[in-house]
């Protein structure tokens, strides 16, 4: 773990927050601009519009045509991407530190002065429709999308791929209006981490983003979850995909880290209960895992397994037994392994400048503050068996939404 | 540069390579075993990959559960991978756990291959084969390369088939292990925050008694097959196309030129494929790659797309591949800058650096500091690329398609 982290946070007069973390023993620097919005804020007639806007902003901005813009990034070797997601727009990149000014200049051009050429919308629509087709061809990806559609309330249940009618309905005028209305500075977070000088970075950011105005979107209210049910989607494939979901602690909840540790005991590394029971002892699956995911509004535990149809019933029985029997049976060594895994994953996983930039931005966005690695580690340290059991009492693992995808329904 | 590469060799032939870098937060280490699908007989098909799994299933000193729990206690980000010619076992850990991780990994590399565990893991392998059957791009690549390499072992399947895995006996796996996992056929590499002296000393006591062995790989040329073939698969929406031609081997100097050409032609941003296919919405994705292997290489260009566009897309790809020498100086410079940035960023993570060090040593017995690799890439001239194209023209290929049935 780094001895100390050098993090500065400033809010510009337009309401955009800038976070700079200096890490000067590496050569690279990374930026991560997060604008709240995304598919959950799309007009119901245009679900998927959020996927088109960022891509369209990259097709020419300010004085630069699409090709000149792309060449300007490539001339500096900047690895960048502009994307729309479930609840945000993201502009990110990693690069050698001497090109930071140019990277931020190009990003600001796309965000503030995109050309939004209407003739580029059709090719982007075609790409996005093909993304949907590729997802439909990949059962392991598709089952998670199908779960999201059924598990969450509208609009949080929307697929991250958008919908075919929504994408097809988008047009030049609608895209320009969407960009004008939704790309606002207030609420946006620009996070920079890596080799840099904070003072210099703040000057550069000010220069490129000071003209940006407006306010980013706020999140729609999160309604009640639909009741749990069993769903099967017939699909001809070699394996049956199984996905289970149930509520868990949201971000910022006092039990948030207990929920992370509980998921770690089930599924951390190669020693989680699910891996040991389902794969190591019985050889029922190649891939089996549980993930805790959370925002301020909700938390969920998602469990996945892929197995051949004739072994699906056994797999499901073992999975459910492992989940239901967790509370009250956690041993001290299991707890300490799950915590060791979480801590190591945090330090090792956040060693790159791009991971640091992303996680600082995310932290600010969720909680209006940036936690140091040391602070997160002490939160993990504080979790004990009692806290995990209390968490499992509040969020019991005994009722799930289930979605299966494959040639045969379990028990059929 | 604060990092320095060091080398050592044990008396049984096990080679050690390490780059200590005190400015990192973690350490990574791994065994790079020079064995893979290419080194299997038809009867053994899939054994390299299956054996990789068995390394986690118990040694003389530890049971499968003990290995799993110890990896957990160390908070190790550990895994293994097998391809056509290498099997790699690696882990990233916090620096204080490095010595224990080294001992654990060394112990795992002498597996018990116990019958009951063998039979349980066989089921997991069969599940993994089923999983990949449901991935269309993998499905096509495996069939395309098998056909392209004709009967050459470079086209062997990594996973094997249901039949070969079901029929495999643990005694056959044991024989394969003894043939291939000898000390002189592997490299132990480390990077990040660790002590080189302790690393060497521990390797001596943990691995110094392993048999040296005589594992070899016959590097025979393959008869380049030029053909067109279609495969069909039920229940898919997208079509997949791949062109395969001869590429530069891991030992060929031309690999730099071909890596740059692959970026010019098929990188995910600003490449020829990008502007002619992705930007126009004609494909879902497109790319290309020079797959450098031991003594041979394949250059592959691929795309996934809507079925009705297949003739148009394949036509555009062929046109671009027919004129690889038509790049501008600016395109070459951009490709060089991209490749350098990619290498620097990747090298900042101990695990990323470990992979380059281990691979570099396995194939070329060379240990180059990053600065030297970067200088070499920057030195590639237009003339050098054109010269590489005299040897690897890229415009005689086999084309394979996977089409929805």
Enter the tokens of residue A316: 């499901």
Which residues 6+ apart lie within 8 Å of A46 measured at CB? Answer: A166, A169, A170, A174, A178
DSSP-derived secondary structure letter, A100: H
Please indicate, yes or no, whether residues A261 and A400 belong to a single structural domain of this protein.
Answer: yes
pLDDT for B3 equals 76
- Segment A65-70 shows an average pLDDT of 96
Chain A: residue nearest B91 by CA?
A: A348
Mean pLDDT across A198-227: 97
| Region A373-382 average pLDDT | 94
Average pLDDT estimate for A162-171: 98
Contact with chain A for residue B43, Cβ under 8 A: no
Task: Establish if A346 touches chain B: CB-CB under 8 angstroms.
Answer: no
Interface test with B, best of A52, A117, A280, A380 (most B CBs within 10 A): A280
Q: E strands along A212-362, which residues?
A: 230-234, 240-248, 287-294, 299-307
Nearest CA in chain B to A139: B134
Name the domain boundary from A149, A177, A209. Answer: A209
Any idea which fold B228-404 has? Cytochrome Bc1 Complex; Chain A, domain 1 (3.30.830)
Tell whether A31 and A79 lie within a shared domain. Answer: yes
Same domain as A80, residue A15: yes
The CA-based dihedral angle spanning residues A341, A342, A343, A349, taken in that order and rounded to the nearest 10 degrees: 100
Considering only CA atoms, which of A2, A5, A94, A406 is closest in space to residue A231? A406
Domain harbouring A99, CATH code? 3.30.830.10
Query: Is there a contact between A406 and A139 (Cβ–Cβ < 8 Å)?
Result: yes
Q: Does B55 touch chain A (CB under 8 A)?
A: no
1-30 of B, contacting A, C-beta below 8 A: 23-26
CATH for the stretch B4-207: 3.30.830.10
Give the C-alpha distances (Å, rounded to integers) separating A214 from A15, A35, A202, A217: 9, 12, 20, 10
Residue A219 resides in a domain: no
Sorted by where each begins, the domain ranges of chain B are 4-207, 228-404
In this complex, is the C-beta atom of B94 within 8 Å of any C-beta atom belonging to chain A?
A: yes
What is the total residue count of chain B?
405
Judgement on whether residues A261 and A328 belong to the same structural domain of the protein = yes
A125 CB neighbours in chain B (<8 A) are: 281
10-residue mean pLDDT profile of chain B (405 residues): values are 85 97 94 98 97 97 96 94 98 96 98 97 96 94 94 95 98 98 97 97 98 91 87 94 96 97 96 97 97 96 97 97 94 96 93 96 93 95 96 91 96
Tell which of B333, B341, B402 to mutate to test the A interface (max A CBs under 10 Å).
B341
Beta carbons of A344 and B75 less than 8 Å apart: yes
Q: Does an H or E element contain B317, and which?
A: helix B310-322
φ, ψ of residue B33 to 5 degrees: the values are -100, 130
Helix (H, G, I), strand (E, B) or coil at A80: strand
Cβ of A348 and B26 within 8 Å? Answer: yes
Which among A79, A130, A343 has the least Cβ separation from residue B238? A130
Average of per-residue pLDDT across A201-228 = 97
Identify the pLDDT of residue A1. Answer: 52
Are residues A156 and A287 located together in one domain of the fold? no
Same domain, A235 and A378: yes
Which of B93, B134, B305, B306 to probe by mutation at the A interface, max A CB count within 10 Å?
Answer: B134
Query: Which residues in B lie closer than 8 A to residue A346 (C-beta atoms)?
Result: none
Say if strands B186-192 and B77-82 run parallel, antiparallel, or are unpaired: unpaired
- With CB atoms and an 8 Å threshold, state whether B93 touches A344: yes
Q: Cβ A306–B131 below 8 Å, yes or no?
A: yes
Nearest to B72 by CA among A276, A272, A285, A288: A272
**Are residues A321 and A197 located together in one domain of the fold?**
no
Q: B124: helix, coil or strand?
A: helix
Predicted confidence at residue A5, as pLDDT, reads 85
Specify if A153 maps to a domain.
yes
Query: Hey, is the C-beta of B330 within 8 angstroms of any chain A C-beta?
Result: yes
CA distance A48 to A219: 17
pLDDT bin (cut points 50, 70, 90) of residue A20 is very high
* A149 exposure class (CB count in 10 Å sphere: 0-12, 13-18, 19+): middle
Chain B contact for A374 (CB, 8 A cutoff): no
Interface check B282 vs A, CB under 8 A = yes
The closest of A122, A191, A104 to A366, measured between CA atoms, is: A191
Q: Do A187 and A261 belong together in one domain? A: no
Pick the residue from chain A with its C-alpha nearest to B97: A344
- In sequence order, what are the residues at sequence separation of 6 or more whose Cβ sits closer than 8 angstroms to the Cβ of residue B30? B88, B89, B90, B91, B105, B188, B189, B190, B354, B355, B358
Average pLDDT, chain A: 95
A176 and A324, same structural domain?
no
- Give yes or no for A64 touching B (CB within 8 A): no
Contacts of B236 in chain A (CB under 8 A): 137
pLDDT at B1: 46
Where in A218-324 does DSSP place strands (E)? Answer: 230-234, 240-248, 287-294, 299-307
Q: Please report how many Cα atoms fall inside a 13 Å half-sphere around the Cα of residue A353, on the Cβ side.
A: 31
Segments forming the whole domain that contains residue A246: 230-406
Tally the domains of chain A: 2
Taking CA–CA distances from A125, the nearest residue in chain B reads B281
Given A1, A79, A235, which is nearest B25 (Cβ)? A1
Helix and strand element counts for chain B (H, E)? 15, 11
Using the structure block, give the residue that is written with the tokens 């990008």: B274
| Token digits of residue A354 | 């791009």
Kindly report the nearest CA distance between residue A396 and chain B, in angstroms.
25
Task: Search chain A and give the residue with CA nearest B78.
Answer: A269
Average pLDDT of the segment spanning A145-164: 98
Residue A298 shares a structural domain with residue A388: yes
Q: Cβ(A188)–Cβ(A1) under 8 Å?
A: no
Q: In this complex, which of B25, B237, B278 lies closest to A351 when CB atoms are compared?
A: B25
A61 lies in some domain: yes
A16 assigned to some structural domain: yes
Quick one: A118 and A12 in the same domain? yes
Read off the pTM.
Answer: 0.94
Query: B120 and A235: CB-CB below 8 Å?
Result: no
Integer Cα distance of A91 and A35 in angstroms: 9
> Is B81 an interface residue toward A (CB < 8 Å)?
no
Q: Is residue A218 a part of any domain in this protein?
A: no
* A237 and A204 fall within a common domain: no
| Position A350 confidence tier, pLDDT thresholds 50, 70, 90 | confident
**Contact state of A337 with B341 under an 8 Å Cβ cutoff:** no
């Amino acid at each position: 773990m780094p001895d100390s982290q050098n993090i500065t946070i400033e809010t510009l007069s337009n309401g955009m927050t800038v976070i700079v973390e200096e890490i000067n023993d590496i050569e690279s620097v990374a930026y991560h601009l997060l604008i709240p919005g995304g598919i959950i804020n799309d007009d119901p007639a245009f679900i998927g519009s959020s996927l088109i806007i960022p891509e369209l902003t990259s097709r020419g901005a300010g004085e630069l045509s699409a090709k000149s813009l792309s060449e300007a990034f490539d001339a500096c070797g900047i690895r960048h991407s502009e994307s729309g997601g479930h609840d945000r727009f993201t502009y990110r990149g990693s690069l050698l530190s001497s090109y930071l000014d140019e990277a931020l200049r190009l990003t600001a051009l796309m965000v503030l002065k995109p050309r939004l050429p209407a003739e580029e919308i059709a090719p982007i629509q075609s790409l996005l429709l093909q993304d949907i087709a590729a997802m439909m061809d990949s059962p392991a990806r598709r089952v998670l999308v199908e779960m999201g559609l059924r598990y969450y309330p509208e609009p949080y249940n929307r697929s991250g791929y958008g919908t075919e009618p929504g994408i097809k309905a988008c047009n030049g005028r609608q895209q320009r209006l969407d960009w004008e209305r939704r790309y606002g500075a207030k609420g946006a977070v620009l996070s920079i981490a890596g080799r840099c000088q904070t003072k210099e970075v703040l000057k550069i950011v000010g220069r490129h983003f000071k003209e940006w105005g407006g306010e980013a979107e706020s999140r729609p209210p999160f309604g009640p979850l639909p009741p749990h049910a069993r769903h099967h989607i017939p699909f001809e494939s070699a394996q049956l995909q199984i996905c289970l979901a149930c509520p868990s602690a949201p971000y910022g909840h006092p039990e948030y880290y207990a929920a992370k540790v509980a998921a770690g005991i089930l599924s951390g590394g190669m020693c989680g209960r699910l891996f040991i029971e389902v794969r190591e002892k019985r050889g029922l699956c190649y891939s089996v895992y549980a993930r805790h995911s959370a925002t301020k509004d909700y938390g969920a535990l998602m469990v996945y397994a892929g197995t051949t149809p004739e072994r699906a019933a056994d797999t499901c029985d073992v999975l459910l037994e492992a989940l239901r029997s967790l509370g009250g049976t956690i041993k001290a060594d299991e707890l300490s392994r799950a915590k060791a895994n979480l801590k190591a994953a945090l330090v090792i996983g956040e060693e790159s400048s791009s991971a640091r930039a992303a996680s600082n931005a995310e932290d600010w966005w969720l909680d209006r503050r940036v936690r140091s690695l040391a602070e997160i580690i002490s939160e993990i340290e504080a979790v004990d068996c009692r806290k995990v059991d209390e968490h499992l009492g509040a969020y019991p693992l005994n009722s799930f939404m289930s979605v299966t995808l494959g040639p045969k329904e379990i028990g059929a | 540069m604060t990092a320095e590469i060091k080398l050592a060799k044990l008396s049984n032939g096990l080679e050690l390579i390490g780059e200590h870098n005190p400015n990192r937060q973690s350490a990574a280490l791994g065994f790079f075993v020079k064995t893979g699908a290419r080194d299997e007989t038809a009867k053994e098909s899939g054994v390299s990959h299956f054996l990789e799994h068995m390394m986690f299933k118990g040694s003389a000193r530890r049971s499968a559960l003990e290995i799993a729990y110890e990896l957990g206690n160390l908070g190790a980000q550990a895994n293994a991978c097998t391809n056509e010619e290498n099997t790699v076992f690696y882990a990233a850990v916090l620096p204080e756990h490095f010595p224990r991780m080294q001992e654990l990994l060394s112990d795992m590399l002498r597996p018990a291959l116990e019958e009951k565990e063998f039979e349980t893991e066989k089921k997991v392998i069969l599940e993994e084969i089923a999983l990949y059957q449901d991935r269309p791009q993998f499905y096509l690549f495996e069939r395309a390369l098998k056909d392209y390499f004709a009967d050459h072992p470079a086209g062997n399947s990594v996973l094997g088939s249901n039949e070969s895995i079901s029929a495999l006996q643990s005694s056959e796996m044991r024989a394969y292990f003894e043939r291939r996992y000898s000390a002189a056929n592997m490299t132990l590499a480390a990077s990040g925050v660790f002590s080189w002296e302790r690393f060497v000393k521990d390797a001596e006591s943990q691995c110094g008694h392993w048999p040296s062995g005589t594992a070899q790989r016959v590097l025979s040329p393959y008869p380049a097959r030029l053909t067109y073939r279609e495969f069909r698969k039920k229940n898919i929406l997208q079509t997949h196309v791949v062109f395969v031609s001869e590429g530069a081997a891991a030992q060929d100097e031309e690999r730099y030129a071909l890596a740059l050409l692959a970026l010019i032609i098929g990188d995910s941003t600003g490449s020829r494929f990008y502007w002619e296919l992705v930007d126009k919405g004609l494909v879902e994705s497109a790319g290309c790659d020079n797959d450098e292997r031991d003594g041979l290489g394949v250059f592959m260009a691929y795309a996934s797309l809507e079925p009705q566009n297949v003739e148009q897309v394949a036509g555009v790809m062929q046109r671009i591949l027919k004129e690889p020498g038509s790049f501008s100086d600016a395109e070459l410079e951009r490709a060089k800058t991209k490749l350098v940035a990619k290498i620097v960023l990747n090298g900042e993570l101990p695990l990323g650096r470990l992979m380059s060090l281990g691979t570099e040593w396995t194939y070329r017995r060379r240990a180059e500091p990053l600065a030297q690799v970067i200088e070499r890439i920057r030195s590639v001239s237009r003339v050098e690329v054109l010269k590489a194209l005299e040897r690897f023209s890229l415009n005689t290929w086999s084309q394979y398609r996977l089409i929805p049935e």
